[in-house]
Amino acid sequence: MSTTDRPWLHTEHGANIGHTETWTWEAAVQLQLERVRNGDGWNPVLDAYQFVMALRMVLRGVQMTRRHLVTEPARALLDEALADFTAAVPGGKDARDVIEHFDEYTQGTGRLQHPPGTKEKDRRPDDRLAEAFRIEFGWRREGGERRPVRTVGPYPIDLVTAADAAKRLRCDAYEALRMDEGSPWPRGSAYAVEHAADPRRLRA
């Protein structure tokens, strides 16, 4: 069979699949940000939940890409990018766990409410811990701009900052793929090109 007849195999394209999922979920993050900003009544509160879930999926897509990269420089690029994302959005990963497992966290029995390694059967209901992990939504002013904030327990997530970090991470993943394939771009160039081409996308 010629190379042109060879079937496309999912298991041989994990990095590309991961990046496709990253792109999809990062677009969802931006959509949810716009819905929050433009909504009224309870809609921003509800859409902020979906924002956090989509943000976590961006991370999952990048982590899949990282696992399937072949070259060490490309892996190192994504390791640095993931560290930068975590620094920009502390709690971006764990907030999803709190929201998804509300049945545990509202009773003080969530995984993050107890010391690492605590078995589920040993997590006792605790009102104090439940209160510490309340989920709230609000707005704050920064430089004259009204910015939405989803607070998940100890993690206040500025949605504008988080959306920009997700975009940067998705661009970093693209550059890691190019590096892995032997066509590297300087880190940050994809983000710079996109941001210049569509400065209204994030308004940040």
pLDDT digits (tens, 9 = 90+) for 79-110: 999 999 999 999 999 999 999 999 999 999 99
CB 173 within 8 A of CB 150: no
The total of structural domains in the chain comes to: 1
3-state secondary structure of 118: coil
Q: Is residue 8 part of a domain?
A: no
Own/partner contacts of 189-198, CB < 8 Å, gap of 24 or more, are 191/167, 194/167, 195/167
**203 in a domain, yes or no?**
no
Q: What is the pLDDT of residues 40-94, one digit of tens each?
A: 888 999 999 999 999 999 999 999 999 999 999 999 999 999 999 999 999 999 9
Coil, helix or strand at residue 177: helix
Q: Is there a domain that residue 5 lies in?
A: no
The domain in which residue 143 lies consists of 13-197
CA distance 195 to 104: 40
* Domain presence at residue 150: yes
